[in-house]
Amino acid sequence: MAGVTRLRVATGRSGPSAPTLPPLASLLKSREVEDPVNLWLHRPLAYWFVSLIYRGSVTPNQVTALAMFVGVAAASCWFVGTPATMVTGGVLLWLSAILDGADGMLARTKGLSSPAGRALDGLADMVVGFTTSAAAIWHMTSQSSLPSSLMAITGIVAVACTVLHMNLYDLYKELFLRHTRPGGGEGHDVQSIQSTLEAPEQRIAPWHVRLAMNFYEDYLAKQERLTARTNPWARTLLGLSRQGNAEHAASYRAHNRGPMRLWIAISLAPHSYLFAIAGMLDMLLPYLLLRLTLMNGLAIVALLLQRRASRATLTAYQL
């Protein structure tokens, strides 16, 4: 029966609808790892959307697909590049960011959270990020009087840095949740994803689910290597389980709250709405330059503080 349940989740089939919609607070990850705009604007709007559909047959994977298609539509508008389509693309990108939070809420409401769903969400985010970034770079190179090669290189480097920032945020958000929340984190490790991939039901899952799971496994493997190279103390913390230990939770929170606030500032949520606003105002180049300067500076400071915080946390754990 457990195998059948996992297969239903992996293939996107809905389980029984929840009799009542849980309160918004119970569907949030943690206020301590959320961007303020995401927490007070995006999440309530996503919750309102979920309240309209959760009793029906709409699945979390379908909401993920909708968020992806809206994001790709935003990129298409930016490729056109007229003043009207730049505004439209920015609005669509912002809407995609709101929908991106609704799939997880719907999954938790219907009891359909799964590694496959998380993997599909990550793959959809990658598609939206790649297409909108390509569209932004195309628009900048076609509109600017500066050399196209210079604009393209600037855009590519800025996007690469942004991806790194989001990867680091995901890592330290997961660590924060694992060590401070009774239910632990929401992510997975490479070994658990490998076990899922080897399960018999996964072999008959749709191709896009298998693609997403392989992408997720590779993402987690690279994240572990990045952690080992930049913060070995955090790599040790990843292997520890401290859920339910109130003393350790308080200790982790005390040492890591400061760095976490910096990671939040350079995470996906603020990037999504700032990128959308920059597109609406046709100021994509200034925004990407901001990512190259201020955001990179914040990332360096955050990593230095995080290394110290991770080391202090292990000392506090007496390990």
CATH at 98: 1.20.120.1760
| Among the listed residues 121, 108, 114, the one whose alpha carbon sits nearest the alpha carbon of residue 67 | 121
* Torsion 108-115-126-29 (CA) sign: positive
Residue 243, SS3?
A: coil
Indicate whether 195 belongs to any domain: yes
pLDDT the model gives residue 258:
96
pLDDT the model gives residue 71:
97
Residue 108, SS3?
A: helix
Helix-strand-coil percent breakdown of the chain, rounded to 5?
Answer: 80, 0, 20
pLDDT the model gives residue 15:
46
Residue 184, SS3?
A: coil
Indicate whether 42 belongs to any domain: yes
Cβ contacts of 215 within 8 Å, gap of 6 or more:
119, 122, 123, 126
pLDDT the model gives residue 11:
43
Position 271: which residue type?
Answer: H
| Among the listed residues 110, 87, 89, 94, the one whose alpha carbon sits nearest the alpha carbon of residue 45 | 94
Indicate whether 19 belongs to any domain: no
Indicate whether 72 belongs to any domain: yes
- What are the structure tokens assigned to 99, written together? 């929908």
| Among the listed residues 156, 162, 160, 155, the one whose alpha carbon sits nearest the alpha carbon of residue 140 | 155
DSSP assigned state of 199: S
Which residues span the domain enclosing 264? 29-316
Number of domains in the chain: 1
pLDDT-flagged residues of the chain (< 50): 1-19
pLDDT the model gives residue 247:
83
Full-prediction pTM beyond 0.75?
yes
pLDDT the model gives residue 205:
78
